Chains A and B, each alone.
Chain A
């Protein structure tokens, strides 16, 4: 047996058997956004889930799979699909804002507006 873990206290590790829950911080934001929107009543979970299933099915049926399978990319796409369907955002405005963010001068390409840990 390995050294005893603190399985009770606030420092208890997530028992994810050695795997990070999120590989990159943006994945955690995409996850938190979907769950947060759902909890705020923006959409039902089955609605998001159906969009995710559609994204995954589309990737799996694509004859030429140009992009490698990337779960959180499909997750993000599903979230956009639902929000566009609800007319909360449009593809164009998300793209425009993304391009605007990409124009930030070097050294300002990391977010500073949140105090959550970037531990990865």
Chain B
């Protein structure tokens, strides 16, 4: 197998995808309607809002927070979020002095049930290589300035461990309810390339 064989060789990838789908459908291996449902699910239902609910619950329920940090997959499932790429979710907490940031150096491992599908920058070779070598600089370029006394840990997601960051609850949100906290939590904060800001 050469690296240039297959898709993209001469004809557009859209045609090659369609050709593959036709062949597999004819052989009864896939059902286009089932594919439609999978696509719709990830386009409209599964996204960072799920993770935001997990984070808001952890911020307001110490017992839940403890369970989440002990067994991420089980605690996430408590809120009804499970499915492909939802196995082996491990949650790490960001604090004023400790900052975790997530990458998948080899491909694009990501906890789909709580964050949806990864954004393009997460899959990009530059992010995957550079965040390991120079996390402080990359985070700064992404708009997150961390002072030198903050310890940064880069977490490499794989099929065995899919990391999710529990961001630090912003100051001044003590009186907000769980429901009011949910919209504050962003995807980027749960990957560790941003902090959650108070409203």
Binding site for A on B (CB under 8 A): 1, 3-8, 11-24, 27, 29-32, 34-36, 38-40, 42-49, 52, 84-85, 106-109, 116-117, 119-120, 123-125, 159, 182-183, 186-188, 199
A73 to B42 CA separation, bound complex (whole angstroms): 19
Indicate if the CB atoms of A36 and B159 lie closer than 8 Å. Answer: no
A-B contact count (CB 8 A): 184
The dominant DSSP class at the A interface is helix
| A29–B120 CB distance below 8 A | no
A-B complex: 6 closest residue pairs judged by Cβ atoms: A97-B19, A32-B35, A26-B14, A14-B47, A58-B3, A15-B49
Taking A16-B116, A76-B13, A113-B32 as contacts, is the C-beta distance between A32 and B22 under 8 angstroms?
no
Contact B32 A114 (CB under 8 A): yes
Query: Quick one: which of A52-106 are within 8 Å of B by CB?
Result: 52-53, 55-60, 62, 66-67, 69-73, 76-77, 79-81, 83, 88-89, 91, 93-95, 97-102
Closest Cβ neighbor of A89 among chain B residues: B23
- Place the interface of chain A in its size category: 35 or more
**A77 in complex: contacting residue of B6, B14, B29, CB < 8 Å:** B6
Flag A20-54 by CB within 8 Å of B: 1 or 0 each.
Answer: 01111110111111011111101001100100110
Please report A residues at the B interface, Cβ cutoff 8 Å: 1, 5, 7, 12-17, 19, 21-26, 28-33, 35-40, 42, 45-46, 49, 52-53, 55-60, 62, 66-67, 69-73, 76-77, 79-81, 83, 88-89, 91, 93-95, 97-102, 111, 113-116
11 CB < 8 A contacts A-B: A14-B116, A15-B49, A17-B187, A36-B35, A42-B29, A77-B7, A94-B19, A98-B11, A102-B11, A102-B15, A116-B36
Q: Assuming the A-B contacts A5-B183, A52-B108, are A101 and B19 also in contact, with contact meaning beta carbons closer than 8 angstroms in the complex?
A: yes
